[in-house]
A = this chain, B = another copy of it.
């Protein structure tokens, strides 16, 4: 039941927002009563907190795995990270949107910790960029910090518009993004790509 509530809440929070979804909405969708909700969660905030942690912990773990790989090239790691996050949309779109939108409703402590974990994600990407520069894979004059934020912008924003059932699959979109990030949009006449 705990999982059921969480799953339905993710759907509703993702669709309509945290504030906009009442406990009533949640339990009604599950044909149970408010009491049941409060038997499993001590507050709406606790539920939200758990949703946040579940999503971010999973993400951090997967990104860590990619980033800490010892033999992979950095541009491959970057590709992997982008693909991971975009393809994640298939199963975690709502959770992602919740994370990007509802953090302010967390309690102070949870907020801080989630913020730290989001920062870890950013650090991993930055680390890949920096290492790639050192290894001569990436252009030397990149600002790793801002470029990382740009890449995360591309990826995170896609949670807003990318419909897994739509014209382009997450996989295709991920590939397009990867290509764009790696090579830019400009045609370099002198190179024979």
Q: Which A residues are within 8 Å of any B CB, using their own CB?
A: 16-17, 19-20, 75, 78, 100-101, 104, 129, 132, 136-140, 142-143, 145-147, 149-150, 152-158, 160-161, 168, 172-173, 176-177, 180-188, 190-193
Taking a contact as CB atoms closer than 8 A, the residue among B17, B156, B185 that contacts A142 in the complex is B185
Alpha-carbon distance between A57 and B177 when the two chains are bound, in angstroms: 29
Q: Which residues of B contact A104 (CB under 8 A)?
A: 16-17, 20
Closest CB in chain B relative to A75 CB, distance in Å: 6
Q: Which residues of B contact A101 (CB under 8 A)?
A: 101
Tell me whether A146 and B177 are in contact in the complex, defined as CB-CB below 8 angstroms, given that A19-B19, A153-B154, A156-B153 are known contacts. yes
Give chain A's interface secondary structure class: helix
Count of chain copies: 4
